[in-house]
Structure 1
Amino acid sequence: MSQLVDLVIFGGTGDLSSRKLLPALFQLHRHGLAERLQRIVATGRSEMDTDAFRQIARDNLLRYLPDDDWDETIWSEFRERLHYVRVEAAHAEHYRALASLLQEGHSQGQLYYLATLPALYGEICQQLQAAGAVGEHSRVVLEKPLGHDLASCQQINHQVDQVFSEEATFRIDHYLGKETVQNLLALRFGNQLFQPMWNNTFVSSVQITVAEEIGVAGRGSYYAETGALRDMVQNHLLQVLSIVAMEPPASLQASDIRDEKMKVLRSLEPITAANVKERTVRGRYAEGAVDGHAVKGFLEEDEFQHAEDTETFVALKASINNWRWAGVPFYLRTGKRLSRRYSEIVIEYRRPPFSLFANDPQELTNKLVIHLQPEESISLHTLNKKPGLRSKLKLQPVELHLTDDQQRVEDSYDAYERLLLDALHGDQTLFMRRDEVETAWRWIDTIIAAWEENSTPIKNYNAGTMGPNAATALIAVDGRQWHE
């Protein structure tokens, strides 16, 4: 029989729990994948009973779940798993009440999901231990951001490590739960077609883009002190980069995969004061229009009027100093209030040494495009003969879809469903190891120090565009352009 687990969500009444965690858990229950889950215990600072919380949870599920996924019968079963306990971070008696509730059940372990401010992670873990709520089969999930820089990240990791071992600690990055990111492993290591060409002999450049239409209103206490580099590049983009660039692992075990990701992060060439001007662009959105609606500029938002040194866009040219990727630029960009929401990886292959075809469009190259959101798919861009009765062969681009559209619709799931399921089963493959997170912060801290030393300016861009002109120039100087 599988070991039963109680899932305790700290911050269980917050935005992440309402929008992502509880809907994901409902879906796991609906699909019969939550057999290991005994109870879901939400904690929060508000005084309420379990029935009141269940009503709030129902309202949020109706709001955030697709209409076709709601089922009253399923809800009547799911609601019995939901419980609520008031817990304030510094109140020891609240943890003792939580521990008492957990002892009443039949579970053999606990999974603590910390969806609170990271500054509280250490205290929560220590209070749980003091209340006797941490046992041999207890695990903890840590939400990003893990700190503000390397020093704060190390402090959080040290505090958590006093209570939970590395094997029991799950550092989450929801991008790693996306089907297409996982499919990179199958694409690279399950197909002889691609593996021999996944190196600097054949690949010209790699682009990783995470573009968002939304702004940052409502996140004043966090974003004003963070910015796009810390918020997105340090975790999401560097995690995706490490999977794209990693060497074949010895096995698909979590330790082997994370060992190879670490080698990539350690091979990143530092961006310092000597090259930061040529390698980075900082941007900040000004007023403009997104999806036909006028929006304010970043500094016009009430929460950000004094955040003149906070960027909402960043573009980087990264280099990986190893034999596989030497000489191949990795272009990264992410930003708020851009023209559309999408995330993708673009592997651009080198052109043939010369062309046999008249009027060959030089800007067209073979590309492997991996779409992460809003739709998840993989496509190969090739060149074919242009149809027609012509005296000479002419080329045109053709896009070949490498994913099954029908299967993708039927088997689609939210990234948090995948990650919560893995955490319940103790599988760390799609979670970040301590040395990964700290190595990423070390690279990011060097960039921030270089910006400060050089007084790197922040370029304005109109909301509804794809960032400042300097981001276009960053890649154009190498004779390339962003894939859009």
Structure 2
Amino acid sequence: MVSSPVATGSGNSEQWVNPLKDPHDKRLPRIAGPSGMVIFGVTGDLARKKLLPAIYDLANRGLLPAGFALVGFGRRDWSKQDFEDYVHEAVLAGARTDIREHVFKRLAEGMHFVSGNFDDDQAFDTLAETLASLDASRGTAGNWAFYLSVPPDFFDDVVNQLDRSGMAHATQHSWRRVIIEKPFGHDQESARKLNVAVNRVFPEDSVFRIDHYLGKETVQNILALRFANQLFDPLWNANFVDHVQITMAEDIGLGGRAGYYDGIGAARDVIQNHLLQLLALVAMEEPITYTPQELRAEKIKVLRATAPVYPLAKTTARGQYTAGWQGSQAVVGLREEEGFDPESNTETFAACTLNINSRRWAGVPFYLRSGKRLGRRVTEIAIVFKQAPHLTFAESTTAAQGPNALVIRVQPDEGVLMRFGSKVPGSTMEVRDVNMDFSYSEAFTEQSPEAYERLILDALLDENSLFPTNEEVELSWAILDPILEYWASRGRPDDYPAGTWGPESADKMMARSGRTWRRP
């Protein structure tokens, strides 16, 4: 006889597992317990392109409960059928897994739409009535996640309405959680005010701040690479590492995001969140256990020890792309992009040098860069090692050899590359760089889930290790704020042609210490 699944876990979170197996076995599929989700801003690009396909993919993989409910909130005057049709179109366009109509039909049974504005008390009262009705009809047990896919300016309005209407208040046997998207403020002060506003209604352990990079398989693999292998840990320190480069390069321009991007820029958009989180994972000490609390504690230690290297005139760089060639296509410059202020000083390329003041990393510079209209789309972490202290080979035989490097490719070709010297076949002694390449797509037959699949499921399961805390957010801004203040006093950023790897000032920044950027 096959046993029915049972709920296990502590507190208000539930995880459905086979009782015949070890409930602590992390290899088991994690299935969310009774729950539902409300998406504010459900008609926006993020919801249409990422969130709705991810929810369908979770349902298609059997990771959502049969009674899962999905409620959209927006200004459009939609019926339930209108909302179902909208979700269906989004799923057809963006789902990762195969479309199975019977799966979508079952998911659609729990879909509802509530029309209203964020200052509309009646709309939120209607939303509260809808959730109560779904608790009774779908068995969601009062467990609701509220996804704020809206600009930060509206966070305060939404959480206050959730508080006023009682929807933010969990009972002893249910939970209420809020999921918020970046940007988490535009500096440390605004981030602190935002955290105060959210935490006034939702306790910190019920707040899930989405950084979608932390949901990527290759980012999570950083911990496995470092701490599941004895091979790397002895070398992972200032005795052997010369420097670390963390790059997020995009080959696209602003497209239709000019209005959003102006005044934000590459540093606020990417470095403050994605790249500093990658830095923390690369540099952190091994946690005592892999609980969310221990993982976060180690990341916080790193961020507290991290600071810009001065003088900023020599250790930072920024730029704006001009007209050029992206592959074989001629593209316009930033100031010609529709909707962008041609007098704006907002940067599309940002680079900075950071030091981590700890015994492990003392003296090892961390170079972070991000930009649009660069040579290709790639995100990677390169740990570049020091040259061997003594070479018995003649200098001419190793002229083609560079420093050893371990490169973690986050996207798009997910994997890990090791670069080391090898003898060139032949009768003479010549050493040249070669690559040992691990690729996710070649090593594993299973396709990696999208980041939003993992993060939405984690929020429903109360697994918060991949979500930055308010302290992490504020510490990240404390690192970046001095750089942003310095740039604000320097006028317009340097130019760089589209399709290149950034302004000359970025190359000079590296050259001052005898180093060069990688060209992925």
* Category of TM-score, reference length = shorter chain: over 0.9
**Correspondence list, 1:138-153, <5 A:** 138-153=176-191
Amino acid aligned to 1:483: R
**Correspondence list, 1:273-288, <5 A:** 275-288=311-324
How big is the shift at 1:269?
2.2
Distance change in 2, residues 1:363/1:407 (3 Å): closer
**Of residues 281, 296, 315 in structure 1, which corresponds to 2:351?**
315
How big is the shift at 1:35?
2.5
Q: List structure 1 segments (4+ residues) > 6 angstroms apart after TM superposition.
A: none
Amino acid aligned to 2:254: V
Contact 1:277 1:456 in 2 (8 A): no
**Correspondence list, 1:72-471, <5 A:** 72-105=101-134, 106-108=139-141, 109-136=143-170, 137-271=175-309, 275-358=311-394, 359-361=397-399, 363-388=401-426, 390=427, 392-453=428-489, 455=490, 457-471=492-506
250-259 vs 306-315, greater mean Cα deviation: 306-315
Map of 1:480 onto structure 2: 515
> Kindly, what percent of the aligned residue pairs are identical?
41
- 2:218 & 2:100 partners in 1: Cα distance? 28
Q: How high is the TM-score relative to the length of structure 2?
A: 0.89
Measured on the aligned residues, the alpha-carbon RMSD in Å equals 1.7
Cα deviation code 1:216-271 (max 9, x no counterpart) = 13223321111111111110110111111111111111111111111111111245
How big is the shift at 1:78?
2.7
422-431 vs 398-407, greater mean Cα deviation: 398-407
Cα deviation code 1:101-132 (max 9, x no counterpart) = 10012212110110001111111011011112
Count of aligned positions: 478
* Uncovered stretches (5+) of structure 1, i.e. residues with no partner: none
- 2:66 & 2:345 partners in 1: Cα distance? 47
1:24 is paired with a residue whose SS is helix
Contact 1:217 1:303 in 2 (8 A): no
How big is the shift at 1:403?
4.8
**Of residues 49, 56, 61 in structure 2, which corresponds to 1:19?**
49
1:304 is paired with a residue whose SS is coil
Contact 1:90 1:123 in 2 (8 A): yes
Distance change in 2, residues 1:404/1:238 (3 Å): closer
* Uncovered stretches (5+) of structure 2, i.e. residues with no partner: 1-6, 8-13, 15-32
Contact 1:12 1:44 in 2 (8 A): yes
Contact 1:157 1:434 in 2 (8 A): yes
- 1:173 & 1:270 partners in 2: Cα distance? 22
Cα deviation code 1:260-310 (max 9, x no counterpart) = 111111111245xx5110110010000112132221111112311245211
2:467 is paired with a residue whose SS is coil
Contact 1:173 1:432 in 2 (8 A): yes
How big is the shift at 1:393?
2.5
Amino acid aligned to 1:71: R
How big is the shift at 1:409?
4.8
Distance change in 2, residues 1:10/1:408 (3 Å): farther
How big is the shift at 1:36?
7.7
- 2:365 & 2:393 partners in 1: Cα distance? 28
Q: How high is the TM-score relative to the length of structure 1?
A: 0.95
